[in-house]
Amino acid sequence: MRIKSSDVIAGQPAFAMRTFLKGMQGYIGTAETIAEHFHTDMATANQIMLALLHEEYIEPDRDQDHWHNSIKGNALVNATARKPITRTTADRLIAEFLARVGEINAGPYAYRITKVILFGSYLSEQPTLGDIDLSLVIEKRYPDPKQQEKLEKERIQAAHQQGKQFHTFLQQLFWPRQEVLQHLKHRSPSLSLHEEEIEHILAQPVPSSILFEEATTSS
């Protein structure tokens, strides 16, 4: 997805709405969350929430009182204002991405990639693309909890030795998984990575294609 500075979503600047949905990390929110973020009253917050629901950027939770990002909402989170890319460039980026998947699975990382699912504009007939949407199945390297915990501690220690600074305990805790995503992303603004465990692309009524699949065996 591409957005411009002049775009408006649910009555708010598109960039501001992207920042808001990104800050939610896809988790459940309420109208109070909107009011607090946009510094507005509850009446306006409810209008924004209804507009987001109507435009399908968010979806209601089971209790209908909370919501979370939809696939479209997560596309907005990863939206960019840069120029589109050609299919030739997209093909090259995908090939390079799959090579990095091989590096992750063969390397010392605490997590491995067992499935890569392609969806979004790449599967359309568009000659140019805003980004490449990839949903990943990420699994722990070892089924044994003690073995997995040991490896994760080793990855955190290795990051410390390389000068990595963690600002919070949670950043450090999630680093073994985050470093995998960072390596796969490779700072490419054209790659939009999603987690299948959260978004369930294969269960959604959207076109998708499995690019890579590996048996879930521990090394």
pLDDT tens per residue, range 153-194? 999 999 999 999 998 898 999 999 999 999 999 999 899 899
Looking at the predicted structure, is the pLDDT value of residue 132 above 80?
yes
φ/ψ of 118, rounded to 5, equals -95, 135
**154 and 60 inside one domain:** no
Find out whether 122 and 129 touch, Cβ atoms under 8 Å: yes
Question: Which among 19, 23, 24 is positioned nearest to 3, based on CA atoms?
Answer: 19
**β-bridge mates for residue 136, sequence order:** 116, 195
Give 151 or 28, the one with higher predicted confidence: 151
Query: Does residue 59 fall inside a structural domain?
Result: yes
Q: What is the pTM of this model?
A: 0.69
Contacts of 164 (CB under 8 A, 6+ apart): 175
**98 and 178 inside one domain:** yes
For residue 11, give both structure tokens.
Answer: 């009555």
Query: Does residue 207 fall inside a structural domain?
Result: yes
What radius of gyration do the chain's Cα atoms show?
A: 19
Looking at the predicted structure, is the pLDDT value of residue 94 above 90?
yes
Residues 137 and 71: their CA atoms lie apart, in Å, by 16
Query: Does residue 167 fall inside a structural domain?
Result: yes
Query: Does residue 2 fall inside a structural domain?
Result: no
Domain stops at, among 39, 54, 77: 77
Residues 73 and 17: their CA atoms lie apart, in Å, by 10
**26 and 91 inside one domain:** no
Question: Which among 135, 145, 104 is positioned nearest to 206, based on CA atoms?
Answer: 135
**107 and 201 inside one domain:** yes
Residues 147 and 143: their CA atoms lie apart, in Å, by 8
Split at pLDDT 50, 70, 90, the class of 219 is very low
Query: Does residue 39 fall inside a structural domain?
Result: yes
**139 and 205 inside one domain:** yes
Q: What is the pLDDT of residue 189?
A: 86
Domain stops at, among 26, 59, 77: 77
Domain stops at, among 44, 59, 77: 77
Looking at residue 30, which CATH number applies to its domain? 1.10.10.10
CB atoms within 10 A of CB 195: 16
**48 and 141 inside one domain:** no
**54 and 106 inside one domain:** no
**In sequence order, what E strands does 87-126 have?**
111-119
Domain count, the chain: 2
**96 and 72 inside one domain:** no
Residues 189 and 12: their CA atoms lie apart, in Å, by 24
Looking at the predicted structure, is the pLDDT value of residue 131 above 90?
no
Q: What percent of the chain has pLDDT over 70?
A: 98
Q: What percent of the chain has pLDDT over 90?
A: 69
Measured at the alpha carbon of residue 80, what is the angle toward residues 203 and 168, in degrees to the nearest 5?
80
**114 and 152 inside one domain:** yes
121: three-class secondary structure by DSSP: helix
**203 and 121 inside one domain:** yes
Query: Does residue 1 fall inside a structural domain?
Result: no
Q: What is the mean pLDDT of the chain?
A: 91
Give the pLDDT mean for 27-39: 89
**166 and 203 inside one domain:** yes
**60 and 97 inside one domain:** no
Domain hosting 62: range is 8-77
